[in-house]
Structures are given as C-alpha cells and as structure tokens.
C-alpha cells in the first residue's frame, strides 16, 4: 500500500504541493487580518483540501496531456504514464476525483468559491 501511495505521490509531485501550502496559508492569514481574524479549523482544513485538490488536478491533467511528449523525450521518458507505473484510466480518474474534490470543498467554504471553482479548474488545467 505504501508503494502505491508513493507512486501516486510521485505522479502528482505531492512534495511540490506540500511546498506550495505555505503560500495558500499565507493568503488565508492576510485575508483573515482584513476581516474577522482566525477563520477557524474548519475553514483552515477546507483551504488545505482545496489547495491539494486543485494542484493534484492540475498535475494529473498536465501529465495526461503531455504523456506522448514525455514518452518521446529522453529526459521525461521515465515518468509514470510513459512507463506504465500509472495507468491512463487511473490518471484520468485521479484528475476527475481531485477536480470534484475542489468543487466540493469550495461548496463548503462559501458560495462565491463554489461558483468560481470551475473557473479555477480551467485556470489550473489550461492556463499555467
């Protein structure tokens, strides 16, 4: 089970997601200072979940779209999709599940986040 988690974590570069989390949390802190203060643990957890879902969706989408280029490039030929470590249906399922995860977490954050979540998905998948 750990090797499977390690494979999927490598596929979406989970370590890079963890590195990016302080930037999302810094934005939360700045927004909190402008409003009521600490937003609470629920909001904190939802922001973390939304960040991880958005980045996972973006990375898996990028890996899916680039798989043929990765296979042709000697530098990237050893990535997960070209080598078969991760299946294409599995990668698509992860991309879809993390996209749905972002929409669901945004629903619980607030209505504006929810309504804008499809725009966020378009941005992270197509404009980066």
Rounded distance between C-alpha atoms, residue 40 and residue 97, angstroms: 26
DSSP 8-state class, residue 79: S
**40 conformational bin, left if phi > 0, alpha if psi -120 to 50, beta if neither:** left
Rounded distance between C-alpha atoms, residue 88 and residue 67, angstroms: 9
pLDDT digits (tens, 9 = 90+) for 73-117: 999 999 999 999 999 999 999 999 999 999 999 999 999 999 999
pTM, entire model: 0.88
Per-residue model confidence (pLDDT) at position 34? 77
pLDDT digits (tens, 9 = 90+) for 42-52: 989 999 999 99
For the cut 70, the answer to whether the pLDDT of residue 128 exceeds it is no
For the cut 70, the answer to whether the pLDDT of residue 35 exceeds it is yes
Tokens 């954050």: give the residue. Answer: 109
Domains, the chain: 2-126 (1.10.357.140)
């Amino acid at each position: 089970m750990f090797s499977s988690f390690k494979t999927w974590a490598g596929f979406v570069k989970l370590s890079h997601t963890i590195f990016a989390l302080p930037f999302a949390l810094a934005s939360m802190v700045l927004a909190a200072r402008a409003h009521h203060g600490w937003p609470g643990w629920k909001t904190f957890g939802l922001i973390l979940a939304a960040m991880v879902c958005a980045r996972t969706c973006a990375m898996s989408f990028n890996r899916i779209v680039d798989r043929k280029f990765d296979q042709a490039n000697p530098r990237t030929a050893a990535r997960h999709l070209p080598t078969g470590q991760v299946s294409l249906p599995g990668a698509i399922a992860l991309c879809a599940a993390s996209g749905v995860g972002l929409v669901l977490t945004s629903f619980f954050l607030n209505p504006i986040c929810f309504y804008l979540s499809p725009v966020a998905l378009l941005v992270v998948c197509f404009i980066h």
